[in-house]
Chain A
């Protein structure tokens, strides 16, 4: 940095091969409806947190599936677990449970259990 006045930027692409999708696998096993999301955004539209912050449940679903765990972990706690999202989902996805399971999965992974 000192010599050149800049550092080499690192990419921000989702690098599918290098991502860890064990959190997603954990949820798939326990909440099969997780597979059914068609990314319509109904959950985000009704979400109270989403209406006041930039939190998006729809996006969270995708980030979990892609294994973007750092971002997921950061966003996860914004959900208040009110469950309004599950009322509107046209595919019957239990979004609330996905958040609950994701939290569990992180807890377990922190304890090296998965």
Chain B
């Protein structure tokens, strides 16, 4: 592997990411499976980085999962997305920052379609007006929330309490990055680092002390495939995809997996449990699984947030091996203790600052 070659590719894919004043839209999957990640994200943005992040109470799902399950027609999806734009316009924001990769991909795709087919945009404007009376401006800047954390990775690194380094050996943790398919595969120029060697998570890991490892199935889909997971009869395909990835990364002995898509960490986490149940196979070291994290969780850990406030107890595959390696100060016995009241949730989640 020649790092210089990758650096040359990364240089070709610099994307513009807004500096401040973000309009945040949430992710259906993240909310249900990794709610702590979105909470931590807002805390980092607002408290650590002093950014203006606005969330509109009336925004909804973009319909992405329904759209990619093909039960929602493209025009419906475009109009729901147009409504999101309208809410943003009305709130006086122009930098759209979705939490979800499917949404990010969908917004990117729709803006591209409208660019090439202005008549489609006009039709959507008419339909939105008819259905809701709303009008909209298109976002000036569209960046996924992982792009924004990437942008401020150095600022986060400067405040870090922990590094992604094995405190016993002094060696950097070996990290596998997994990028959501819709981040850059459809429009490589819209992703930091492009589609083939995405830099968005690699940049964070490098900055926070870890070492990214490349492995043959790095670009492979986690296997969600929308209908391929959502319907039980199809899940054999879904799990097979993740298994392909685990088999491929195993020889590299990764300490952890970091992801930027809401769904992927859930699948990479749960499928390890299923494969172990079905075949008695584990892919981590010492007979353990490979801990899987969202990038918000990793940022939170680096900043010294409590693992149980980050929601790491909502993972099926234990995250403790990583906590122990980097030396997180945490209380193992409180993992499932729900009586301890959250230290920051009220302040940072419910109110738009």
User: Contact residues of A with B, CB < 8 Å?
Assistant: 3-11
User: Contact residues of B with A, CB < 8 Å?
Assistant: 232-237, 239-240, 243-244, 274-275, 277-279
Chain B residues with CB under 8 Å of A4's CB are: 235, 274, 277-278
Chain B residues with CB under 8 Å of A11's CB are: 240, 244
8 contacts between A and B (CB under 8 A): A4-B278, A5-B233, A7-B278, A8-B236, A8-B275, A8-B279, A10-B240, A11-B240
**How many angstroms between the C-alpha atoms of A8 and B223 in the bound complex?**
12
**Docked-complex contact A7 and B277, CB < 8 angstroms:** no
How many residue pairs between the two chains, A and B, have CB atoms under 8 Å in the bound complex?
A: 30
Smallest CB-CB A-B distances: 5 pairs: A9-B240, A6-B236, A9-B236, A6-B235, A5-B232
Chain A residues with CB under 8 Å of B274's CB are: 4
**Docked-complex contact A8 and B278, CB < 8 angstroms:** yes
Chain A residues with CB under 8 Å of B275's CB are: 8
**How many angstroms between the C-alpha atoms of A65 and B182 in the bound complex?**
37
**How many angstroms between the C-alpha atoms of A88 and B236 in the bound complex?**
45
Partner of A5, one of B235, B243, B277, B279: B235
Majority secondary structure of chain A interface residues (helix, strand, loop or mixed):
loop
**Docked-complex contact B244 and A6, CB < 8 angstroms:** no
Chain A residues with CB under 8 Å of B244's CB are: 11
Chain A residues with CB under 8 Å of B233's CB are: 5-6
Write the nearest CB–CB distance from B245 to chain A, whole angstroms. Answer: 13
Chain B residues with CB under 8 Å of A5's CB are: 232-233, 235
Write the nearest CB–CB distance from A37 to chain B, whole angstroms. Answer: 31
**Docked-complex contact A8 and B239, CB < 8 angstroms:** yes
**How many angstroms between the C-alpha atoms of A14 and B184 in the bound complex?**
28
**Docked-complex contact B243 and A8, CB < 8 angstroms:** yes
Chain A residues with CB under 8 Å of B243's CB are: 8
**How many angstroms between the C-alpha atoms of A85 and B243 in the bound complex?**
44
**Docked-complex contact B240 and A8, CB < 8 angstroms:** yes
- B232, closest chain A residue (CB): A5
Write the nearest CB–CB distance from B276 to chain A, whole angstroms. Answer: 12
Chain B residues with CB under 8 Å of A8's CB are: 236, 239-240, 243, 275, 278-279
Write the nearest CB–CB distance from B223 to chain A, whole angstroms. Answer: 10
Chain A residues with CB under 8 Å of B240's CB are: 8-11
**Docked-complex contact B277 and A6, CB < 8 angstroms:** no
**How many angstroms between the C-alpha atoms of A9 and B233 in the bound complex?**
11
- A1, closest chain B residue (CB): B278
Question: Given A4-B277, A10-B240, 6 other A-B contacts at CB below 8 A?
Answer: A4-B274, A5-B232, A6-B232, A6-B236, A7-B278, A8-B236
**How many angstroms between the C-alpha atoms of A61 and B50 in the bound complex?**
67
**How many angstroms between the C-alpha atoms of A11 and B243 in the bound complex?**
11
Chain B residues with CB under 8 Å of A3's CB are: 277
Chain B residues with CB under 8 Å of A6's CB are: 232-236, 239
Write the nearest CB–CB distance from B312 to chain A, whole angstroms. Answer: 24
In this complex, the member of A4, A9, A11 whose beta carbon has the largest number of chain B beta carbons within 10 angstroms is A9
Chain B residues with CB under 8 Å of A7's CB are: 236, 278
Chain A residues with CB under 8 Å of B234's CB are: 6
Write the nearest CB–CB distance from A27 to chain B, whole angstroms. Answer: 32
Write the nearest CB–CB distance from B336 to chain A, whole angstroms. Answer: 23
Write the nearest CB–CB distance from B119 to chain A, whole angstroms. Answer: 42
- B233, closest chain A residue (CB): A6
Chain B residues with CB under 8 Å of A10's CB are: 240
**How many angstroms between the C-alpha atoms of A30 and B244 in the bound complex?**
39
Chain B residues with CB under 8 Å of A9's CB are: 236-237, 239-240
- A5, closest chain B residue (CB): B232
**How many angstroms between the C-alpha atoms of A78 and B193 in the bound complex?**
52
Write the nearest CB–CB distance from A1 to chain B, whole angstroms. Answer: 8
- B242, closest chain A residue (CB): A8
- B244, closest chain A residue (CB): A11
- B223, closest chain A residue (CB): A9
**How many angstroms between the C-alpha atoms of A8 and B280 in the bound complex?**
13
Chain A residues with CB under 8 Å of B236's CB are: 6-9
Write the nearest CB–CB distance from A7 to chain B, whole angstroms. Answer: 5
**How many angstroms between the C-alpha atoms of A10 and B244 in the bound complex?**
10
**How many angstroms between the C-alpha atoms of A4 and B235 in the bound complex?**
9
